[in-house]
Chain A
Amino acid sequence: MSEVLFLVDHSAGKITKAAGELATYAKSIGDSVAVVFADNAQPIVDQLNAFPVDKVITIAGEFDKYGPAAVADGLSQLLAARKPAALLITSTANGKEIAARASVISGSGIITDAVNVDKDLITTQSVFGGSTTVHATVTKGVPIITLRANSIEATAATSSAAVESFSATISEAAKLAPITSATPVVKGGRPDLTEASIVVSGGRGTNGDFKPVEALADALGAAVGASRAATDAGWYPHSNQVGQTGKTVSPQLYVAAGISGAIQHRAGMQTSKTIVAINKDPEAPILEIADFAVVGDLFNVLPQATAQIIARKG
Chain B
Amino acid sequence: MKIAICIKQVPDSWAEKKMAGGVLDRAGVDAVLNDLDEYAVEEALRIVETNSPSKEAGEGSGHTITLISMGPERATEAIRKALSMGADDAILVTDPSLAGSDALATSLVLSEVIKKGNYDLVLCGTESTDARMSVIPAMISQRLGWAQLTFAGKVKVDPAANTVEIERVTEFGNQVMSAKFPAVLSVVEKINEPRYPSFKGIMAAKKKPITNMSLADTGVPAAEVGAGAAWSNVKEALPRPPRGVGVKLTDEGNGGEKLVEFLVEKRLA
Q: Which residues of A contact B (CB under 8 A)?
A: 11, 67-69, 72, 92-94, 96-101, 103-105, 108-113, 122, 126-141, 173, 176-185, 192, 194, 198, 220, 238, 244-246, 252-253, 262-264, 270, 274-276, 278, 282, 287, 289-297, 300-309, 312
Inter-subunit contact B232/A137 (CB<8 Å): yes
Inter-subunit contact B13/A110 (CB<8 Å): no
Inter-subunit contact A93/B17 (CB<8 Å): no
Q: List the A side residues contacting B103 at CB < 8 Å.
A: 100, 110
Name the one of A104, A132, A263, A300 contacting B19, with C-beta atoms under 8 angstroms: A132
In the complex, A176 Cα to B236 Cα: how many Å?
41
B104, B243, B259 — which one has the most chain A CB atoms within 10 A of its CB? B259
In the complex, A96 Cα to B186 Cα: how many Å?
14
Inter-subunit contact A238/B240 (CB<8 Å): no
B247 located at the interface, meaning its Cβ lies under 8 Å from any Cβ of chain A in the complex: yes
Inter-subunit contact B14/A262 (CB<8 Å): yes
Given contacts A182-B176, A305-B257, 14 further A-B contacts (CB under 8 A): A94-B171, A96-B133, A100-B134, A112-B133, A122-B235, A131-B16, A138-B231, A139-B230, A180-B178, A262-B14, A263-B13, A274-B268, A292-B259, A294-B251
Inter-subunit contact A263/B16 (CB<8 Å): yes
Inter-subunit contact B142/A104 (CB<8 Å): yes
For B125, the closest partner residue in chain A by CB is A245
Q: List the A side residues contacting B13 at CB < 8 Å.
A: 244-245, 263-264
CB distance from B48 to the nearest CB of A (A): 22
In the complex, A135 Cα to B138 Cα: how many Å?
25
Inter-subunit contact B149/A182 (CB<8 Å): no
In the complex, A252 Cα to B267 Cα: how many Å?
10
- B249-268: CB near A (< 8 Å → 1, else 0) gives 11101111111101110101
Q: List the A side residues contacting B151 at CB < 8 Å.
A: 93
B199 located at the interface, meaning its Cβ lies under 8 Å from any Cβ of chain A in the complex: no
Assess A308 versus B256: contact at CB under 8 Å? Given A93-B151, A132-B237, A291-B243: yes
CB distance from A212 to the nearest CB of B (A): 10
Which residues of chain B (181-228) have a CB below 8 Å from chain A?
183, 189-190
In the complex, A126 Cα to B241 Cα: how many Å?
12
- B115-142: CB near A (< 8 Å → 1, else 0) gives 0000000000010010011111111011
Inter-subunit contact A93/B139 (CB<8 Å): no
Inter-subunit contact A136/B176 (CB<8 Å): no
Q: Which residues of B contact A (CB under 8 A)?
A: 13-19, 24, 35-36, 102-104, 107, 126, 129, 132-139, 141-143, 145-151, 165, 168, 170-180, 183, 189-190, 230-240, 243-244, 246-251, 253-260, 262-264, 266, 268-269
Inter-subunit contact A185/B135 (CB<8 Å): no
Q: List the B side residues contacting A139 at CB < 8 Å.
A: 230-233
In the complex, A127 Cα to B17 Cα: how many Å?
9
B151, B170, B262 — which one has the most chain A CB atoms within 10 A of its CB? B170
Q: List the B side residues contacting A68 at CB < 8 Å.
A: 138, 148, 150
Q: List the A side residues contacting B129 at CB < 8 Å.
A: 244-245
Inter-subunit contact B134/A112 (CB<8 Å): yes
Q: List the A side residues contacting B240 at CB < 8 Å.
A: 126, 130-133, 270
Q: List the B side residues contacting A308 at CB < 8 Å.
A: 256-257, 260
Inter-subunit contact B260/A312 (CB<8 Å): yes
In the complex, A115 Cα to B15 Cα: how many Å?
23
In the complex, A302 Cα to B255 Cα: how many Å?
9
Assess A101 versus B139: contact at CB under 8 Å? Given A108-B231, A274-B266, A301-B251: yes
Q: List the A side residues contacting B134 at CB < 8 Å.
A: 93, 96-97, 100, 112
Inter-subunit contact A136/B135 (CB<8 Å): no
Q: List the B side residues contacting A253 at CB < 8 Å.
A: 263, 266, 268
In the complex, A67 Cα to B152 Cα: how many Å?
14
Inter-subunit contact B148/A287 (CB<8 Å): no
B143, B173, B269 — which one has the most chain A CB atoms within 10 A of its CB? B269
A130, A290, A291 — which one has the most chain B CB atoms within 10 A of its CB? A291
Q: List the B side residues contacting A244 at CB < 8 Å.
A: 13, 129, 132
Inter-subunit contact A110/B246 (CB<8 Å): no
